[in-house]
Structure formats: structure tokens, C-alpha cells
Amino acid sequence: MTDEQRKRAVVLLSGGLDSATTLAAARSQGIECHTLALDYGQRHNAELQAAARISAALGASSHKVISIDLRAIGGSALTDDIEVPETRSEGIPVTYVPARNTVLLAIALGFAETLEAGRIYIGVNAVDYSGYPDCRPAFIAAFQDLARVAIARSSRHDAVEILTPLIHLTKAEIIQMGTGLDVDYRLTVSCYQADAQGRACGRCDSCEIRREGFLAAGLPDPTRYA
Amino acid sequence: MTDEQRKRAVVLLSGGLDSATTLAAARSQGIECHTLALDYGQRHNAELQAAARISAALGASSHKVISIDLRAIGGSALTDDIEVPETRSEGIPVTYVPARNTVLLAIALGFAETLEAGRIYIGVNAVDYSGYPDCRPAFIAAFQDLARVAIARSSRHDAVEILTPLIHLTKAEIIQMGTGLDVDYRLTVSCYQADAQGRACGRCDSCEIRREGFLAAGLPDPTRYA
């Protein structure tokens, strides 16, 4: 891998707070970032519009949206017609999309190969999160091992590196980090049921975790609520 | 996992010879099979029609097609406007789709979770194959490790099992096995540039490997050539 390839990255961008902060972190280290958003039939399309705006605002070199209809395999309130719950639940919430981060990283890996990019950034977080199995360090480590053998360019010594700068941070620490990197959090949409203008419901799991994060960070919450 | 879940499987079906044989192998063991085909913008759409016919002919319980536009990440003669080569090439051929089997298995894993299926079958083969990195045993082993930590149902002891009944067989052995299981190979399409009726070109890598397989198996080649 050349130095140029090592400094080129695919950055997964959901339109939410965490992935925007991840992109800002990569950019602050001089990484050439190519952002990738997944249109997986989610109800909150406002996320996709937010992802495109964040990509441009933070100086990514390109932005792509890949469509995949995960509704066909069902199983989640984010893509089915199940009601999004408004109280925080125990265990794995119904908003879990089956194998979502596995699918996202698989597509990012293919894109990294085409782009000759040496890195993939994903904004997973195992502290203030919703309990999804594919946000944990063990999952990322297993995907890193897979990346070493999955693609034509792979070799044990020169694999695409999976980077997760937020994985051990609290939501408050993420917000402080992003604020220091001039992320405009008004552009981001975290809500599971944002309206067409990207305004948050203020009541779902994701809204609650986000609001508590700004509070704990001692920073004003710029979220646009409906 | 219950015994019922252990006997339920997602079977990846491409419309080709290998995945049809894999489905027949699973069915011959009394497995309840749910077939999954990926529409990744491939030029040879005849494959998808073949997959649906094979699924029905071999008694699968359901068949789904998931659309994902891998053309957006480029890099392969199967999805781009690059000419498909007609002579066998050295190393990784240009018909390689970046991270294709990683994407396929990721989606199958999500589907297995929704279905409560204990198995995923994929017809990869590391003997008479085109040199793709994601057909090798090391790749499958790494994905099996990932499956243990990737989904809500996963646990070290009760993970979805990734099964590859063809991985160590020659093409001739695969054809002999499928013939013994009454697979109608006329239904299958292996050609990288089959016409709209599913007739093979007879000249690409994939056609050549297939034809040599029937020859070595000592069985008549039922392939419909254009």
C-alpha cells in the first residue's frame, strides 16, 4: 500500500451525530475522505439528506449513496411498519436492523478496494449506545480479521484498516470532540422518526441519548425538535 | 437454538451451477431452505430468472431477491461497461466484484436472524474457480468468526453456521454430486455474458470451467449455447 492509499478513506456516514464526528476526526488528521451513505429503506429519509450536507460541510472528496432494500429481509422497526418505541427498552431494541453494520462494512470494503483506500471509518460506539451487538469492539475486531482475507488487495500485513475513533467515548465526550472540530450539529439527524424537515421527535431512544449527551457535555443542544 | 431453527437455512442462489448443487445438497438432508438472490446490477439478468426457477424446482420454502446497486462502487467487468475477457487470465480476473461474497453473506446473516435460521449455505469453491479471494476457506472461516459476534442472537456457542458443501470439490465432482441429486443443469446459467434467454457465450472463463467440468465428469453438457 502506498502512503497515498494509506491516507485515503471510506467514511460511513449515516447523517447522525456520531458519524459526522467521525468524519471530522478523520479530516482533522488530513485524511482524504470518501463518504458513503446507505439507503436501506429506512423511514427517516431526512438522515440521507443530512449525510449529504455533512459530507460537503466537512470537506469530503466525494459522497455516494448505495441503495439496498433491507425491508425485504424485515425484522426492524426502522424499516418495517412497527411502531418506534418511545421509552428506553431492555436488551436489544426493536429498532435494531439485522446485521446492519456487517452489511455497511461489507459495502465499504468493496468501495475501499475500488478506490484503493487504506482505511474505513465507522462511528460505532460501545458506551452510550442502544445495545446493538454490531457496535461492540469484538465485532469490529472480527470484521478487521475478515478484511485481511476478503478482498483481492488483502494480505495479512497490508489490509484495509477499520477505524472507530468513538468506540470508547461517552456521548458527552463525542460531542465535546466534535465541537472542538467545528462540527455543526444542527446539520445532523439522530432521531429514529425525524420528520421530512429533519426535525427530531424528542422522545425516542436516540433522541434521549443525544439530549443527555449535550447536557452532560455542558453544551447547548442545537437539535431542531418538531 | 431449537432443533427447528437448526434445520432452517438461508441458501444463497446465484442461478449458476454451484449454488444450485448447494441447494440440492441442503434439501437432500431435509433442510428447510429459504433462497436468497442478489440483484447487484449485474449485466447477466438471466441469472436472476434462473435462480427463481431453480429455487422452485428444488423445493425451497421461499425465494427472495434483494437489490443493491454495486455499480455505484464500480470495479468489475460484471457490473461496469468493461468488456468481459474471453481468455483465461492470470491472478484476479476483472470480472471480480469487490467484496461480493462479504456483501452476500452479510445480507444472508441479517435474513437468517429474521428467519431464525441456524444455517447459511453458500456454494463457494476453492478448486476449479476463478481465483477470487472470497471463495477461499480462510475467508469462510473469518466470516464464521464474525457471525459469532455480529447479530443479536449470536453467542460463541450458538452462532449461525456457514456451510460450504462444495468448497473442496472439483467442478467435475460438483456436477457428479448434483446429477446424483437430480439437479437439472439446463436451468442453471454460469456464463458471465448470457443472453436474455439465458444462453451461454461458450467463450468466457466461467463457460470454459463449466464445459471442462462436464467433460471431466463424463456427463453430457446440457448447457444451452447461443
Domains and CATH numbers, chain B: 3-75+89-184 (3.40.50.620)
CA distance B147 to B162: 8
Question: For residue range B24-42, what is the model confidence (pLDDT) as tens digits?
Answer: 999 999 999 999 999 877 6
Grid cell at residue B195:
443472453
- The minimal CB distance from A69 to the residues B66, B109, B113 is found for B66
A45: helix, strand or coil: coil
- Could you tell me if B48 and B37 are in contact, meaning their C-beta atoms sit under 8 angstroms apart? yes
Is the CB of B94 inside 8 Å of chain A's CB atoms?
A: no
Identify the residue whose cell numbers are 463525542. A174
CA distance B32 to B27: 7
- The minimal CB distance from B103 to the residues A73, A106, A133 is found for A106
Distance from the Cα of B162 to chain A's closest Cα (Å) equals 14
- End-to-end Cα separation, chain B, in angstroms: 48
Is the CB of B67 inside 8 Å of chain A's CB atoms?
A: yes
One DSSP character per residue, B52-83 reads HHHHHHTT-SEEEEEEB-GGGG---TTTSSPP
CA distance A162 to A60: 18
Which residue in chain B is spatially nearest to A152 when comparing CA positions? B133
Would you write out chain A's pLDDT as a tens digit for each of its 226 residues?
Answer: 788 888 999 999 999 999 999 999 999 999 999 999 998 776 568 889 999 999 999 999 999 999 887 777 776 555 555 455 555 445 545 556 788 899 999 999 999 988 989 999 999 988 866 677 888 999 999 999 999 998 876 555 578 999 999 999 999 999 999 999 999 999 999 888 888 888 999 998 889 999 999 999 999 999 999 9
CA distance B81 to B123: 27
**Residue B12 β-bridge partners:** B36
pTM for this predicted structure: 0.89
- Could you tell me if A17 and A178 are in contact, meaning their C-beta atoms sit under 8 angstroms apart? yes
Element (H, E) at A220: none
- Could you tell me if B24 and B183 are in contact, meaning their C-beta atoms sit under 8 angstroms apart? yes
| Closest residue by Cα to residue A6 from A152, A124, A112, A142 | A112
pLDDT at A79: 56
- Could you tell me if A99 and B109 are in contact, meaning their C-beta atoms sit under 8 angstroms apart? yes
| Yes or no, beta carbons of B134 and A151 under 8 Å apart | yes
CA distance A57 to A63: 12
- Could you tell me if B155 and B148 are in contact, meaning their C-beta atoms sit under 8 angstroms apart? yes
Q: Quick one: average pLDDT of B92-101?
A: 69
| Yes or no, beta carbons of A66 and B69 under 8 Å apart | yes
Residue B150 makes CB contacts below 8 A (sequence gap 6+) with: A99, A101, A102, A133, A134, A139, A142, B109
Q: Quick one: average pLDDT of B34-59?
A: 89
**Residue B203 β-bridge partners:** none
Looking at per-residue pLDDT, the higher value among B171 and B44 belongs to B171
Question: How many Cβ contacts (< 8 angstroms) between chains A and B?
Answer: 149
Residue B212: pLDDT band (50, 70, 90) is very high
Interface test mutation site (partner B, options A67, A104, A149, max chain B beta carbons within 10 A): A149
ipTM of model: 0.87
Is the CB of A71 inside 8 Å of chain B's CB atoms?
A: no
Looking at per-residue pLDDT, the higher value among B174 and A194 belongs to B174
Grid cell at residue B70:
454495486
Interface test mutation site (partner A, options B48, B69, B73, max chain A beta carbons within 10 A): B73
Is the CB of A32 inside 8 Å of chain B's CB atoms?
A: no
- Could you tell me if A134 and B147 are in contact, meaning their C-beta atoms sit under 8 angstroms apart? no
- Could you tell me if B105 and B143 are in contact, meaning their C-beta atoms sit under 8 angstroms apart? yes
How far does CA A66 lie from the centroid of its chain? 14
Angle B171-180/B205-217 helices, nearest 10 degrees?
Answer: 60
Which regions of chain A does DSSP assign to beta strands (E)? 8-12, 32-39, 62-67, 119-121, 161-163
Angle B100-115/A100-115 helices, nearest 10 degrees?
Answer: 170
